[in-house]
Amino acid sequence: MEQRKDCDTCAHEAKLGIENPCRDCWKGDNWEPKEPEPDNVNHPAHYESQTSLECIDVMEIAFGQESVAKFCLCNAFKYLWRYKHKGGAEDVQKAEWYLNHFESIMGEYSDVEDGYNKMRELVHVALGETK
């Protein structure tokens, strides 16, 4: 008999017929595994493809790291611009993700350092306003 672990919370293994899965796993008369929580900040599903590469990784291959770093600054700006009227705290988290990605690409060197520092400061201000 094939064994399959379907729930990290209760370790219920559907194929083994273990009874009484946790409440999170139980839906009506039939047990179904929980769907994973979406992560719209770090790994949005709409940017995944048939491969293990994410869109931003392919962008780095296609356009180069410096171009993608500047793209990250622009996206951080966009999310900070709109967060009060559209995405709230999630938009601020996305801005911070893009700034972190910029930093991982460019490290200490950058001809756009002033823009980066301004965006980082705005993230801190926005996080203080959305908590």
pLDDT tens, 62-86? 999 989 999 999 999 999 999 999 9
CA distance 126 to 96: 10
Question: Which DSSP letter does residue 8 get?
Answer: T
- Asked whether residue 121 carries a pLDDT value surpassing 60, the answer given is yes
Give the model confidence (pLDDT) of 19-40 as tens digits: 555 655 555 555 555 566 777 7
Give the mean pLDDT of the chain: 75
Q: What's the confidence (pLDDT) of residue 62?
A: 92
Please name every residue paired with 30 in a beta bridge, in sequence order, or none if there are none.
27
37-50 residue pLDDT tens: 777 788 777 666 66
pLDDT band at residue 52 using 50, 70 and 90 as cut-offs: confident
Give the integer Cα–Cα distance in Å for 79 and 87.
Answer: 8
pLDDT higher at 14 or 60: 60
Buried b (16+ CB within 10 A) or exposed e, 20-48: ebeeebeeeeebebbeeeeeeeeeeeeee
What's the pTM?
0.57
Task: Determine the Cα–Cα distance for residues 56 and 95; give it in Å rounded to an integer.
Answer: 14
